[in-house]
């Protein structure tokens, strides 16, 4: 069973949960049920949230546990925030630190370029 199925494979509309069933006692609960906000995250994103919370938000610990870089941690946090808090998202510009780090992480800019952009941004603040 794919518990992550959120949209119709035929027309791509949002799916509704209409029935829950207990295979142990055969209890059935029918109605319209919404998917929780955390269920809207992919399994990879849910694992990240779990590690982040268990690490008490300590980015260094998250880096160590998941064997990922600081920019990757920040990118994943930003990605999850966009899903869970879309109303709080501001338009990101190329000069924002998150975008500079994201571009560095993707390899679209070099470390030297990233440092230069971060210094320019700091100077302009």
Residue 2 has a pLDDT of 47
Question: Under a CB-based contact definition with an 8 Å cutoff, are residues 118 and 101 in contact?
Answer: no
For 54, what's the count of Cα atoms within 13 Å in the CB-facing half-sphere? 11
Residue 55 has a pLDDT of 96
Q: What is the DSSP string of 22-46?
A: -TTT--EEEEEEPPPGGGGS-HHHH
Longest dimension (CA), the chain: 66
70 C-beta neighbours (distance < 10 Å), count: 13
Domain boundaries in the chain?
A: 90-125
What's the pLDDT tens digit per position in 43-99? 899 999 999 999 999 999 999 999 999 999 999 998 899 888 877 655 555 657 888
Measured over the CA atoms of residue 80, residue 4, residue 53 and residue 67, the dihedral's sign is negative
pTM across the whole model: 0.54
């Amino acid at each position: 069973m794919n518990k992550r199925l959120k949209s119709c494979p035929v027309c791509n509309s949002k799916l509704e949960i209409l029935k829950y069933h207990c295979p142990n006692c055969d209890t059935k609960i029918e109605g319209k049920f919404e998917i929780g906000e955390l269920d809207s995250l992919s399994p990879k994103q849910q694992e990240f949230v779990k590690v982040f919370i268990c690490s008490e938000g300590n980015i260094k610990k998250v880096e160590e546990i998941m064997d990922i870089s600081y920019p990757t941690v920040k990118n994943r946090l930003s990605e999850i925030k966009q899903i869970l808090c879309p109303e709080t998202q501001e338009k990101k510009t190329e000069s924002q630190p998150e975008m500079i780090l994201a571009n560095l992480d993707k390899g679209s800019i070099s470390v030297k370029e990233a440092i230069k952009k971060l210094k320019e941004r700091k100077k302009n603040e």
